[in-house]
């Protein structure tokens, strides 16, 4: 439904978006994820019409929209600051876009009532924005941007101003609303958890380039680069040289440490430098040496206790730290491992990811 075709955007000599192509499909909840300054906001502003690409095309439903001004696009945006009109009531804020369309009065009030119901704001219709809470303001902004039934809704860090609990609730609300209305949502965020929770597909961006576009689980379990693996979730990354052994690779990564074995579909030449990413929840921790692949000995140097899980930082003899996570399934204040314990960590050959770059 949306197609970016070789889009480049420059601000002076700074390249914000670098020859980027991307397709976003109808009824999708699509997330643009990246650190600040990676160009994700510029992408969104180009979709809304506030910025024009320096080169390339942007299509919406097959039609080029580069020259269509923002007030003529079937695209609405929910602003990071919400940008609610402070002089208008909640009701009038939501009705604002409908009035500009010249919609009949009774139709407007019906549509506004529907939006108020959808966002559970019926009680606050006559309040001014400064008389309601941050979470309510966020919902007004959402209702206002949905009122015109846009083909595409853009959400610019929509939950950034909310506290953690409210943010999590709102994430599920957003997904519900997206499903109910069937609108295509594009969300911009730097919060990977938010992107993973709400989106059906995630694009990880860095320095104006798309690093990977895939479903949240693919991004997490099969990152295509060190950058993506590192950006999403916790990971330990090792560098080494791989050698093919049957259907597996053997990674020589440090002197005095056994090689790491991994299954991978990647084609890596013998002696090429490659990387190995292993996530802490896939690493097991033992007092006694297990009989398995990838068994390493080390010492617990740090413990992060989060209640439901504990993260152990295990330092190997060569100084490398491997993180291992354990679910605290039993209710006990006594931890199985403590500082300076000598332990064994291990994981199977399917748990880590071999990366070429």
Partner 1 sequence: MRRAIVYLIPFTWLLVLFLVPFLIVFKISLSDVALARPPYTPQLDLSQGLSGILDFVRELDFENFIFLTTDSLYWKAYLSSLKIAAVSTFLTLLVGYPMAYAMARAREDWRPTLLMLIILPFWTSFLIRVYSWMGILGTEGYLNQLLLWLGIVSTPLQILNTNWAVYIGIVYTYLPFMILPIYSQLDRLDGALLEAAEDLGCSRASAFWLVTFPLSRPGVIAGCFLVFIPTLGEFVIPSLLGGSSTLMIGKVLWEEFFSNRDWPVASAVAVVLLIILIIPIILFQKNQQKQAEAEA
Task: State the residues that interact with partner 1 by CB under 8 A.
Answer: 48-50, 69-71, 75-77, 79-81, 83-87, 96-97, 100-101, 130, 144-145, 148
Work out how close the CB of 115 gets to partner 1 at its nearest, in angstroms, rounded to a whole number: 13
Please give the Cα distance from 82 to 36 (Å, whole number): 19
- Write down the H helix ranges in the chain: 40-48, 90-100, 105-118, 134-146, 164-181, 192-198, 216-221, 226-231
CA-angle at 245, arms to 244 and 251, nearest 5°: 60
Nearer to partner 1, 98 or 121 (CB): 98
Work out how close the CB of 188 gets to partner 1 at its nearest, in angstroms, rounded to a whole number: 14
Cβ-Cβ contacts under 8 Å for 130 (sequence gap 6 or more): 86
- DSSP code, position 39: S
Work out how close the CB of 69 gets to partner 1 at its nearest, in angstroms, rounded to a whole number: 8
For 40-85, the DSSP string reads HHHHHHHHHTSS--SEEEEEETTEE-TTS-GGGSSEEEE-TT----
Nearer to partner 1, 144 or 167 (CB): 144
Nearer to partner 1, 85 or 305 (CB): 85
Work out how close the CB of 44 gets to partner 1 at its nearest, in angstroms, rounded to a whole number: 11
Work out how close the CB of 86 gets to partner 1 at its nearest, in angstroms, rounded to a whole number: 7
Nearer to partner 1, 186 or 277 (CB): 186
Helix (H, G, I), strand (E, B) or coil at 126: coil
Work out how close the CB of 182 gets to partner 1 at its nearest, in angstroms, rounded to a whole number: 20
Residue 303, beta-bridge partner list:
312
Nearer to partner 1, 83 or 209 (CB): 83
Work out how close the CB of 108 gets to partner 1 at its nearest, in angstroms, rounded to a whole number: 13
Phi, psi of 286 (to 5 degrees): -135, 155
| Packed helices 164-181 and 134-146: angle between N→C axes, nearest 10 degrees | 20
Nearer to partner 1, 132 or 277 (CB): 132
Phi, psi of 64 (to 5 degrees): -70, 125
Q: How far is CA 117 from CA 53, 113, 128, 210, in A?
A: 38, 6, 18, 38
Nearer to partner 1, 6 or 131 (CB): 131
Residue 347: how many CA atoms within 13 Å on its side-chain side?
A: 24
Work out how close the CB of 324 gets to partner 1 at its nearest, in angstroms, rounded to a whole number: 45
Nearer to partner 1, 40 or 148 (CB): 148
- DSSP code, position 123: G
């Amino acid at each position: 439904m949306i197609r970016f075709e070789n889009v480049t955007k420059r601000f002076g000599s700074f390249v914000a978006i670098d020859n980027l192509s991307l397709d976003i499909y109808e009824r999708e909840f699509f997330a643009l994820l990246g650190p600040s300054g990676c160009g994700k906001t510029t992408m969104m502003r180009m979709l809304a019409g506030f910025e024009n690409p320096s080169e390339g095309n942007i299509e919406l439903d097959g039609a080029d929209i580069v020259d269509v001004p923002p007030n003529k696009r079937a695209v609405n945006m929910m602003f990071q600051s919400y940008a609610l009109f402070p002089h208008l009531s909640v009701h009038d804020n939501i009705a604002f876009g409908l009035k500009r369309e010249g919609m009949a009065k009774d139709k407007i009030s019906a549509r506004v009532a529907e939006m108020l119901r959808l966002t559970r704001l019926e009680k606050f219709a006559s309040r001014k924005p400064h008389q309601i809470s941050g979470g309510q303001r966020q919902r007004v902004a959402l209702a206002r941007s949905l009122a015109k039934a846009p083909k595409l809704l853009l959400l610019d860090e929509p939950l950034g101003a909310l506290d953690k609990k409210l943010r999590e609730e709102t994430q599920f609300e957003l997904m519900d609303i997206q499903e109910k209305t069937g609108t295509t949502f594009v969300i911009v965020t730097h919060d990977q958890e938010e992107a993973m929770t709400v989106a059906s597909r995630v694009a990880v961006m860095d320095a104006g380039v798309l690093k990977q576009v895939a479903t949240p689980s693919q991004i997490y379990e099969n990152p295509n680069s060190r950058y993506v693996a590192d950006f999403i979730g916790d990971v330990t990354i090792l560098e080494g040289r791989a050698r093919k052994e049957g259907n597996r690779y053997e990674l020589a990564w440090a002197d005095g440490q056994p090689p790491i074995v991994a299954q991978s579909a990647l084609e890596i030449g013998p002696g090429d430098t490659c990387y190995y990413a292993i996530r802490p929840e896939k690493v097991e921790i033992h007092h006694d040496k297990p009989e398995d692949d990838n068994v390493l000995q080390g010492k617990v140097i740090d413990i992060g206790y989060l209640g439901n899980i504990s993260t152990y930082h295990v330092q190997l003899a060569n100084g490398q730290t491997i993180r291992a996570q354990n679910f605290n399934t039993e209710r006990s204040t006594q931890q199985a491992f403590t500082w300076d314990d000598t332990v064994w960590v291990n994981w199977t050959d399917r748990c880590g990811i071999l990366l070429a770059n």
